[in-house]
Amino acid sequence: MPRCIHVLNGPNLNRLGKREPEVYGRTTLAEVEAMCRAEAGGDEVVFRQTNHEGQLVDWIHDAIDSEAAGLIINPAGLTFRSIPVLDALKMVKAPIIELHISNIHRREAIYHQSLVSTVATAVIAGLGARGYATAMRAMRDMLDA
Ligand code: DHK
């Protein structure tokens, strides 16, 4: 069965390209998805975005139940205070890469304390949208090791 890597995106990321371009750049979410698929090689990709905490939790459960080989997640604003997202991620047995387009540690203090980082295998932050391609390559390298 081919490996499947799930890429999950949280609130407001549907507005990439026009949302605070000075912070997030001008790459759209559709372009980000295309980058992920271009880097996937022979692996399958599930790519999703939601503005709703419960939907993100359900999609983490889906990654678990479908035995996703790896999970790349940009929880966006749900990174910092969402116990439901954290609790769902604690059930994930596959590698988790936490991804942020911006360097959250160089931004306002509200963005400095990630709950997700307490369970993530690795964290990528500050590479801009190309961080997604980096995360996909890193995930595939981990799975191939
Ligand atoms: C995206 C968001 O929407 C913010 O809430 C995070 C993250 C940063 C990003 O850089 O991708 O704080």
Q: Is the pTM of this model over 0.85?
A: yes
pLDDT of residue 16: 98
Task: Take atom 8 of ligand 1 and give the residue whose Cα is closest.
Answer: 76
Q: Which of 124, 120, 128, 117 is nearest to 138 (CA)?
A: 124
Domain residue limits, the chain:
4-144
Are 86 and 115 in contact by the 8 Å Cβ rule? The answer is yes
Task: Take atom 1 of ligand 1 and give the residue whose Cα is closest.
Answer: 76
Q: Compute, in angstroms, the gap from residue 125 CA to the centroid of ligand 1.
A: 9
pLDDT of residue 135: 98
111 is catalytic: no
Q: Compute, in angstroms, the gap from residue 2 CA to the centroid of ligand 1.
A: 31
Answer whether residue 88 shows pLDDT above 80. yes
In the CATH hierarchy, which top-level class contains the domain 4-144? alpha beta
Residue-wise pLDDT tens digits, 25-70: 999 999 999 999 999 999 999 999 999 999 999 999 999 999 999 9
pLDDT of residue 2: 85
Amino acid at 73: I
Are 115 and 79 in contact by the 8 Å Cβ rule? The answer is yes
Which 8-state DSSP code applies to residue 117? G
For 33-71, give the DSSP string: HHHHHHT-TTSEEEEEE-S-HHHHHHHHHHHHHTT-SEE
